[in-house]
């Protein structure tokens, strides 16, 4: 699927809570890494999120606040248009989550979706 990003496309947004968690991770580890949010083929619904600490590449979109960065590669960007990157703490654990209005359905695991 080759999605083209319209000129008036809304970029993904990162919540203050997600940026704050990145700052906590940097403080705990003593190392400042960016959070990479990517979309790749796979999972039980066709696409899945790959969320990990990483270093920036030359063509990444960099969303930044208070020295913390979230990275999105150009291939993933059309799939994440208008999405919200957040951090949540629940009984089952704490994790970064993506609220994606482009997903027509998602899996119960929270990392797999379809368009």
For strands 34-41 and 68-72, give the pairing. Answer: parallel
- Which residues 6+ apart lie within 8 Å of 112 measured at CB? 42, 43, 44, 45, 46, 47, 48, 49, 106
Burial status of residue 105 (CB atoms within 10 A of its CB: 0-12, 13-18, 19 or more):
exposed
What's the pTM value of the predicted model, to 2 decimals?
Answer: 0.80
CA distance 98 to 76: 13
Per-residue pLDDT at 7: 56
Per-residue pLDDT at 49: 86
Pick the CATH number of 13-103 from 1.10.3370.10, 2.60.300.12, 3.30.70.1400, 3.30.465.10: 2.60.300.12
Rounded percentage of the chain residues whose pLDDT exceeds 90 = 51
Stretch 102-113: mean pLDDT: 56
Per-residue pLDDT at 103: 74
Domain boundaries, the chain: 13-103
Chain mean pLDDT for the chain = 82
Dump pLDDT digits (tens) for 1-43. Answer: 344 445 556 899 999 999 999 999 999 999 999 999 998 876 5
Q: Is the pLDDT of residue 109 over 50?
A: no
């Amino acid at each position: 699927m080759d999605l083209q990003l319209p000129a008036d496309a809304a970029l993904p947004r990162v919540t203050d809570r997600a940026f704050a968690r990145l700052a906590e991770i940097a403080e705990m580890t003593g190392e400042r890494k960016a959070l990479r949010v990517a979309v790749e083929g796979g999972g039980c619904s066709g696409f899945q999120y790959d969320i990990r600490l990483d270093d920036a590449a030359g063509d990444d979109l960099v969303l930044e606040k208070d020295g913390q960065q979230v990275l999105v590669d150009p291939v993933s960007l059309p799939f994440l248009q208008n999405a919200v990157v957040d951090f949540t703490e629940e009984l089952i654990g704490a994790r970064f989550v993506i609220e994606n209005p482009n997903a027509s359905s998602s899996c119960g695991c929270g990392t797999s979706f379809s368009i």
